[in-house]
Structure 1
Amino acid sequence: MMRFNETPPPPLHQITSLSNLTSTMNNKAQIQRASPWPGFPTSKSLGIFGDANCMEQLLVHCANAIESNDATLAQQILWVLNNIAPPDGDSNQRLASGFLRALIARAAHSGTCKALTAMADAHASTLAIDTHKFTVIELASFVDLTPWHRFGFTAANAAILEAVDGFSIVHIVDMSSTHCMQIPTLIDSIAKRPDGPPLLKLTVAGFTEDVPPTLDLSYEELGAKLVSFARSRNVVMEFRVIPWSSSNGFCTLIDHLRVQQHLMYGESQGEALIINCHMMLHYIPEETLTMNSNANPSTSNPFESSSPNSSLRTMFLKALRSLDPTLVILVDEDTDFTSNNLVCRLRSAFNYLWIPYDTIDTFLPKGSKQRQWYEADICWKIENVIAHEGAQRVERLEPKSQWVQRMRNAGFRGIPFGEEAVSEVKSMLDEHAAGWGLKKEDDDLVLTWKGHNVVFATAWIPS
């Protein structure tokens, strides 16, 4: 096993290409360092590896070395990455630094590459990701910084207002990763309805896991604030929170909604049921599961009656369809983090998560607290995608095309967003940096950054 203070790497100014670097690393000559990892001075000769493509290739080689338990090669690549990707560098360097930390954490979590495990232990304080617990005001300001969430809020609220026109009772089921930050604007709009506001019921799926962004108060306290805000707008609102875990695929929530429908049977003709899914469904595990063979095939609960080859995502969407909702809004990030292959997942994440790092430079000054909070949340996502497997890997994003197919298979039909929704999204984007854009794909809306898909918004009704 190689220690960290044994021989310096070959002169890096002699390396003229990535393949040359890989070849040099593969000779596995022991290398010595003048100072312990990771605190060495940066060499100007490392600049040739400073572009995003080279950093991605280095990360891929490092991931392969860790997976094959080649500590010597992995350590050499990490040395290079540490010198070309400082955590306070430009957007590409900070992105690569986040992946560097995640790869070391993976080695530590998986028990492979014992030398890297020791490295992680030695630098635990610098590798730890310190996510911030937001106050309600802080989180509202945080969400307003970019269109990342506001895009989905704006498109969804416009579609919801159109769908609930004429209903005397509106039941919103909010499955959102942003702790109801969308709801105050919706309350404001509902309060202005010409025929008067409906009774508003809000059922919230409360996360039981600490997934960023996190809030510093309970859902009960948050609900009290929302009810008070609604009252100030002359809207009568009822609030319920249903705790859920990503491992059970929202089955507790579905059971609760089914019970409520049963209790309201014969009285619910004037009630609109709106299911608002904002960047949360990808936390449902996507793998095919083996179902309980003792499940009653005659049950009406799709979570119990689905075939042995059903996945929790399929089962959840079919369960939603059985509730016959008035409208389902699905908003999520348009990328794929579901591969079981680490390198495929790394490439997909690297080629998507450059976007938040790139946007940060347009609206947050270097060294600001908000920037630290923002990037800590991204680093949490990177570590979850790269360092974890099984039930611990909850960031399992799927692209829009996959969700569209899932929704159709579950018995839903896509509907277009109205002109009002498109106009409001465009007005919202005018408040942000010029790189943000909007495009329409069939019935759907897609938020873009410099032409690259970022977040999609889709609207569905039972077919």
Structure 2
Amino acid sequence: MMQFTETPPPHLHHITTTFSNHTMSKTPIYRTRPWPGFPTSKALGSFGDANCMEQLLVRCANAIESNDATLAQQILWVLNNIAPPDGDSNQRLTSAFLRALIARAAKIGTCKMLAAMANAHCNLAVNTHNFSVIELASFVDLTPWHRFGFTAANAAILEAVEGYSVIHIVDLSLTHCMQIPTLIDAIANRLEGPPLVKLTIAGAIDDVPPKLDLSYEELGSKLINFARSRNVLLEFRLIPSSYADGFSSLIEQLRLQHLVYSESGEALVVNCHMMLHYIPEETLSPLSNTNRNPYSFESSSSQSLRMMFLKALRSLEPTIVVLVDEDADLTSNNLVCRLRSAFNYLWIPYDAVDTFLPRGSNQRQWYEAEICWKIENVIAHEGSQRVERLEPKSRWVQRMRNANFKGVSFGEEALSEVKTMLDEHAAGWGLKKEDDDLVLTWKGHNVVFATAWLPA
């Protein structure tokens, strides 16, 4: 974290006045270097609750956006003292947002003073870990964040493909096929015997964590060997395709295959695990500003690539589409709106990590680096560089219905398996059913949703 070694401006009266009505929190009081006219370390304790930290971050964001370097520096000084990067969960969360705001100031150059300070005193790059396959498998098992979606999706997929001798799985997953071995295990134990499994992935997420330290070709070889050990014949195919254009290359290849296999009785499964929110949506680039339609059907200029992608999937008549993603809204073009939304969602992983990982462990560092990367992308970047554009479940449900899909309810077996999986984790995790959908919760707050869809 940046250390403010220069003497700050002479007072923070307007900040202390704004927050003077808040009660003292239980946050430990930090011994800060006294400055003439600044709050003492005792007074800084009153800023320690999450609501005050959020308000300070909002005011800092507004100061940076309005190029008020003096006010921004004052608030940053306070935040730097009350939110150490190794503090409690709220402090670590605030520290990550503080870092992201400094990165934004350095990146966009509106606050020249802050940009110069950032460049001189702080390396702002978030260092995410390159995982081995074993490390990544262990990493995603740490919490239900990914396992919830794996478990719910696999149960829905198994039910949908019952009786098929050939199953084509299109895996659009943030976690580099970590869901697939469990699915292969379940498929291998079918009463009617294991089917031929065709696995297609889009090599498109090298710039988004978690990152894997081996190529997709090597990953494919490992999956083929694993399937062989379970007496399942697996064919692996990589289609280079990017979320930036709505996976247009993938869609085109699937369309060509569909023409060949549509009458062969092959099941087509599309598994979307925390990947579709990287496809650009309406607030980034309306299609009216693009030169060409990446798909070969007519569409109105008001449609986003997300909508076009879903309609293209619908035209392939898939056996089932499973959509799992994080239940938050990070699409606003307004920085403060995004900051508030992200702050009130991303406290969850910081809070949860305290229940299962000790301070200083490598896994904890990797875990929190992933969150820091997300926060920086949401706060410090704009335009096409801001790829963390989460949408809440309600909006995805409406998108799927508009693309002529109908929701299918998760069965009792899926519910039972998810509950069994949650029993392996901390008591704060929970499960609730909303209409046809399943939602993972932490202390009652929505975290991740799982939905399953059939062509209407």
TM superposition score normalised by structure 1: 0.91
**TM-superposed deviation, 1:457:** 0.1
**TM-superposed deviation, 1:242:** 1.5
Task: Kindly provide the amino acid, as one letter, of the partner of residue 103 in structure 1.
Answer: L
User: What secondary structure is seen at the aligned counterpart in 2 of 1:99?
Assistant: helix
Aligned to 1:71: 69
Aligned to 2:28: none
Q: 1:293 to 1:212 in 2, by over 3 A?
A: closer
1: CA distance, partners of 2:369 / 2:16: 33
**TM-superposed deviation, 1:198:** 0.5
Q: Does 2:306 correspond to 1:305?
A: no
Q: 1:176 to 1:207 in 2, by over 3 A?
A: same
Identity across aligned pairs (percent)? 76
**TM-superposed deviation, 1:4:** 6.3
Task: Kindly provide the amino acid, as one letter, of the partner of residue 201 in structure 1.
Answer: K
Q: 1:359 to 1:86 in 2, by over 3 A?
A: same
Report runs of 4+ in structure 1 exceeding 6 Å deviation. Answer: none
2: CA distance, partners of 1:7 / 1:110: 23
Q: Does 2:183 correspond to 1:163?
A: no
Task: Kindly provide the amino acid, as one letter, of the partner of residue 150 in structure 1.
Answer: R
- Tell me if the contact between 1:336 and 1:398 (Cα under 8 Å) persists in the aligned partners: yes
- Tell me if the contact between 2:8 and 2:77 (Cα under 8 Å) persists in the aligned partners: no
Task: Kindly provide the amino acid, as one letter, of the partner of residue 147 in structure 2.
Answer: R
**TM-superposed deviation, 1:11:** 7.7
**TM-superposed deviation, 1:310:** 1.5
- Tell me if the contact between 1:86 and 1:94 (Cα under 8 Å) persists in the aligned partners: yes
Aligned to 1:118: 116
1: CA distance, partners of 2:173 / 2:262: 27
2: CA distance, partners of 1:176 / 1:322: 21
Alignment of 1:232-271 (within 5 A): 232-266=229-263, 268-269=264-265, 271=266
Number of aligned residue pairs: give it: 437
Alignment of 1:50-89 (within 5 A): 50-89=48-87
2: CA distance, partners of 1:415 / 1:131: 37
Tell me which of 130, 137, 140 is aligned to 1:140.
Answer: 137
- Tell me if the contact between 1:279 and 1:331 (Cα under 8 Å) persists in the aligned partners: yes
Tell me which of 325, 333, 355 is aligned to 2:318.
Answer: 325
Aligned to 1:405: 398
**TM-superposed deviation, 1:262:** 1.9
Task: Kindly provide the amino acid, as one letter, of the partner of residue 366 in structure 1.
Answer: R
**TM-superposed deviation, 1:124:** 3.0
Q: What value does the CA root-mean-square deviation take over the aligned residues?
A: 2.1
Aligned to 2:213: 216
1: CA distance, partners of 2:301 / 2:12: 57
Q: Does 2:273 correspond to 1:275?
A: no
2: CA distance, partners of 1:179 / 1:294: 30
**TM-superposed deviation, 1:324:** 0.4
2: CA distance, partners of 1:396 / 1:53: 24
Aligned to 1:107: 105
TM superposition score normalised by structure 2: 0.92
Q: 1:11 to 1:108 in 2, by over 3 A?
A: closer
2: CA distance, partners of 1:383 / 1:294: 31
Task: Kindly provide the amino acid, as one letter, of the partner of residue 129 in structure 1.
Answer: V
- Tell me if the contact between 2:197 and 2:234 (Cα under 8 Å) persists in the aligned partners: yes
Task: Kindly provide the amino acid, as one letter, of the partner of residue 87 in structure 1.
Answer: P
2: CA distance, partners of 1:306 / 1:168: 36
- Tell me if the contact between 1:5 and 1:34 (Cα under 8 Å) persists in the aligned partners: no
Alignment of 1:244-393 (within 5 A): 244-266=241-263, 268-269=264-265, 271-287=266-282, 288-290=286-288, 302=295, 304-393=297-386
2: CA distance, partners of 1:209 / 1:264: 30
User: What secondary structure is seen at the aligned counterpart in 2 of 1:439?
Assistant: strand
2: CA distance, partners of 1:8 / 1:60: 20
**TM-superposed deviation, 1:264:** 2.5
Task: Map Cα deviations across residues 278-317 of structure 1 (whole Å, 9 max, x no partner).
Answer: 000000010222265676xxxxx84552122211001000
Which ranges of structure 1 fall in alignment gaps of 5 or more residues? 22-32, 296-300
Which ranges of structure 2 fall in alignment gaps of 5 or more residues? 23-32
User: What secondary structure is seen at the aligned counterpart in 1 of 2:354?
Assistant: helix
2: CA distance, partners of 1:199 / 1:423: 28
- Tell me if the contact between 1:66 and 1:112 (Cα under 8 Å) persists in the aligned partners: yes
- Tell me if the contact between 2:107 and 2:380 (Cα under 8 Å) persists in the aligned partners: yes
Q: 1:341 to 1:8 in 2, by over 3 A?
A: closer
- Tell me if the contact between 1:174 and 1:277 (Cα under 8 Å) persists in the aligned partners: yes
Q: 1:292 to 1:347 in 2, by over 3 A?
A: closer
